[in-house]
Amino acid sequence: MGDYQISLEDLQNLIDKYSKLDHNLVLSDIYVKDRQNYASCLKISSLNVLNMLDQNENSFGTHCYLTILRFVTITYIDKATNILMRIFYAWSTVFISRLWFTWIRYKLMIQEQKKIQQNQRPSYKAIEHHFMTFPAYHSIELNAHMLTIISLLVLNEKLPIESLNIFLFSSQPCENIFRSARALTGPFSTMTNFTVQQFLSKTRKISILNEIKCFEESNVTSGGIKFPKHHKQNQSNAFSSILINLNELTLDNIEKNIYDAYEYAKSFAEKLGMSSLLKTKNVFQLNDLSLNIRNDLEKIIYLNDDSTLDNDDNSDSDDEENYYSLASDVEDDNENEESETENECTQSTKDVFNGMRIYSTVADKDKNKFFKIEINNKIKYIHKQTAVWYLTNNNNRLSSDRLVRVQKASRQ
């Protein structure tokens, strides 16, 4: 990406050189074989990791790539993001990807011209080798355009404001609807399937129950109905206030956020050293870039080639061997150093540990759940589960990918 490389070694260096309290990473988080490990995607694209990568000039490429991943998560999955910020982050990823794609194409064209002395366009396979996969890029483009269209339809009162709940558009909420519909059958019924008419009837009941639940949750009076809820749901179900932000949803604000997103993407291109070539080819301005890449989008969307997947599968075994050998080496090193570091004070570059149960004070009734430790010469209380995680190099949870689960079981 520009003058810099995107490499797992940058994340590996963070794990090796910094405390786990700073980056919240383990070795299994950079295990590229498991492509359905969404929890690790959140961890490697967290603000703490991005800030640490941004401090090292050699990791600027990895920082930009993970920024794209973080922006996609904030735009389409995070519940607390308002609609204007969703538009900004969505188009930021689009423009960064467009600048990156165009830069790779002209860079390869210059290299081919030096070899064969002809001005020949590089193949799309060659571009994809240095770029993200084309299906991922198509998703970034399509989702950003669809998000903008939905916002305009809501603005013109063609769609209800509930359509701005973009995080409900994924497959997981649909699966939850089926589980909730089955739960309405009752504990004494053995029927797990139902007809389409029965399902529609159950969804109407679920809609009424959710409406009552949302109304009572927003009811601040003492007579409101309190529904039982797990404590983790209280932390994760922070819905954005659509009604408050709807007044800010205007055509001018939408256009402003899109232009701001392009300026933000241009700053990344300048930081990575891509701007000079793009300016030379007259594709650094918004209209020029969009017109230049339009024909490419129409062509690559029809490409269907599995050679990249085949090559990737052939290299997976080597990646697995390197991963497991690296993990074993780290375990051996930790065993040798355990006696030396047992009484040392834990060092960290942070004072606030978001996402970790580490506190300065705890209630007396909960002290049996915590250990007292010293971090940066300050007394802290760390939860026992957090302590186990801190002393563990790998996350041994089963993967969501069935093939990966079978492969891991065969090695045990």
pLDDT at 101: 92
pLDDT in tens, 334-361: 444 333 333 444 555 555 566 677 788 8
Q: What is the mean pLDDT of residues 292-318?
A: 60
Strand 378-383: give its sheet, edge to edge.
Answer: 358-359, 378-383, 370-375
pLDDT at 341: 35
Q: Show the tokens assigned to 367.
A: 């002290």
- Binned at pLDDT 50, 70 and 90, residue 167 comes out as confident
Q: Kind of pairing, strands 378-383 and 358-359?
A: antiparallel
Tell me what percent of the residues of the chain surpass a pLDDT of 90.
20
pLDDT in tens, 128-153: 888 988 888 999 999 999 999 999 99
pLDDT in tens, 190-202: 666 788 888 888 8
Rounded Cα distance between 390 and 47, Å, is 19
pLDDT at 3: 85
What value does the mean pLDDT of the chain take? Answer: 77
Q: Show the tokens assigned to 97.
A: 């990807």
* CA-closest candidate to residue 320, choices 37, 16, 33: 33
Among 68-82, 128-142, 224-238, 287-301, where is mean pLDDT lowest? Answer: 224-238
pLDDT at 344: 43
Has residue 87 got a pLDDT over 80?
yes
Rounded Cα distance between 129 and 119, Å, is 20
Rounded Cα distance between 250 and 182, Å, is 41
Counting every residue written for the chain, the total comes to 412
Task: Give how far Cα 5 sits from Cα of 61, 63, 101, 130, 238, Å.
Answer: 5, 10, 15, 10, 37
184 compared with 274, residue with greater pLDDT? 274
pLDDT at 394: 65
Rounded to 5 degrees, φ, ψ at 373 are: -130, 170
pLDDT at 355: 62
Residue 234: half-sphere exposure toward Cβ, Cα within 13 Å: 7
Q: Got the DSSP string for 286-311?
A: HHHHHHHHHHHHHHHTT----HHHHH
Q: What is the mean pLDDT of residues 307-312?
A: 45
Taking the CA atoms of the chain, what radius of gyration do you get in angstroms?
25
330 compared with 55, residue with greater pLDDT? 55
Residue 374 pairs in a beta bridge with 379
Rounded Cα distance between 233 and 409, Å, is 32
Write down the domain spans for the chain: 8-157+243-307, 166-238, 312-411
CB 105 within 8 A of CB 127: yes
Q: What is the mean pLDDT of residues 374-394?
A: 75
pLDDT at 327: 44
Has residue 312 got a pLDDT over 80?
no
Map residue 77 onto helix, strand or coil.
coil
pTM more than 0.85: no
Structure letter (DSSP) for residue 248: T
Q: What is the mean pLDDT of residues 364-384?
A: 79
Q: Got the DSSP string for 193-230?
A: ---HHHHHHHHHHHHHHHHHHHHHHH--STT-------
- Binned at pLDDT 50, 70 and 90, residue 265 comes out as very high
48 compared with 245, residue with greater pLDDT? 48
111 compared with 150, residue with greater pLDDT? 150
- Binned at pLDDT 50, 70 and 90, residue 399 comes out as low
pLDDT at 373: 80
* CA-closest candidate to residue 89, choices 77, 104, 73, 75: 75
